[in-house]
Structure 1
Amino acid sequence: MIKNVNKVVARGWCLLGALLCIAMMAVALLLQYVGELDPCPLCIFQRVAVIATFVVLLPGIFHNPKRWGGVIYGLLGLLTSGAGIALAARHLYLQSLPPGAAPSCGPGLDYMLEVMPLQSVVQEVLHGSGECAEIHGVWLGITLPGWTMMGFVVLALISLLLVTSSISRMRRKPSKRLL
């Protein structure tokens, strides 16, 4: 099985990761516009991490990098999906707090972006607010940030497999490849 995983070229891993990013954004937009669940500031930052991962992996589909290119795409994918994991973990932490211990609701993200510098907005959002601590969607006993974290973990694994398959490809002679 490991040999087959290493036969997948960089283009295949990038395509798989990009498709997962598209699926994650599709679910987020469906929940927002069909399910009428407005995203909190941390949800929006998680969407930014999904889009950043997509932007990192998309060129790899068309470029099909050889040698170090796959390693670079994979490491950048690990960086962006790791940021998403951290954001989702923070969101899950805020949701785990007892009702009285959660921070109070602050101003909306639009307002903060208008009146505050970007660094202050990021710090304020990461600090969390009451709306980030509210649980609005649970499916199979897992909250939406939990599902998002699982998506980011899969994206991180795809990026890691991209790195390892690129490194193993550099170390061996050319062979039959998948995708």
Structure 2
Amino acid sequence: MPFVSSRALFLLAFIGCLLVMLGALYLEHVVGLEPCPLCVVQRICVILFGLVCLLAALQGPGLLGQRLYALLLLLLAAAGGGTAARQVYLQTVPADQLPACIPPLDYLMDALPFQEIVRVVLHGSADCAEVSWTLFTLSLPEWSLLAFAGMLLFGLVQLLRRA
């Protein structure tokens, strides 16, 4: 029984990322949910993951290239999963122990150096802890964490599979 080519798997992962982003944009523009800074970081990780998958699908790499792409995908999935896990954690913290709302990202970019922006954004705020939408009792950050777990699994499969 022939295995599916790595090129086809990369294309399938790209389509999965595209669907995740379409869902996020639907929730933002149709349902009216505004993304918090941690959500924006997760979106960036999904977009970068998808672009790397698209590049790998277009290139059709050999075994070494497949493994290099897989390592990059693992890093992106871990970064996105880490921010999603941080947001899930913030949702469990009592509201009085959360930091106050942070200013919009465009203001932070004008007012602070890059390292400080990263620290402030990754620290999270009360905005990031608000549960405003659920599906099957899971919040958006929990769904995001599941998606990043799938991305991690995909990266591991691509890393360990033979060409």
Q: Same fold (TM over 0.5)?
A: yes
1:122 and 2:115 are equivalent in the alignment: no
Matches within 5 A, 1:29-48: 29-48=25-44
In 2, Cα distance between the equivalents of 1:73 and 1:106? 35
In 2, Cα distance between the equivalents of 1:156 and 1:16? 15
Higher relative contact order (CA 8 A, sep 6+): 1
Shift in Å at residue 115 of structure 1?
Answer: 1.0
Name the residue aligned to 1:91: 87
Name the residue aligned to 2:76: 80
Match of 2:127 among 126, 131, 136: 131
Shift in Å at residue 119 of structure 1?
Answer: 1.3
Name the residue aligned to 2:149: 153
Amino-acid identity (%):
37
**Structure 2: gaps (5+ residues):** none
Q: Which aligned segments of 4 or more residues in structure 1 are displaced greater than 6 angstroms?
A: none
Match of 1:113 among 104, 109, 133: 109
Match of 2:55 among 48, 59, 63: 59
In 2, Cα distance between the equivalents of 1:55 and 1:123? 26
- Residue identity in the other structure for 1:164: L
In 1, Cα distance between the equivalents of 2:63 and 2:125? 45
TM-score of the two chains, using structure 1 as the length reference? 0.87
Match of 2:13 among 6, 17, 25: 17
Name the residue aligned to 2:136: 140
Shift in Å at residue 8 of structure 1?
Answer: 2.1
| 3-state DSSP of counterpart to 2:95 | coil
CA RMSD of aligned residues (A): 1.2
2:95 and 2:126 in contact (8 A); partners too: no
1:75 and 1:159 in contact (8 A); partners too: yes
In 2, Cα distance between the equivalents of 1:13 and 1:120? 38
- Residue identity in the other structure for 1:54: G
| 3-state DSSP of counterpart to 2:31 | coil
- Residue identity in the other structure for 2:108: M
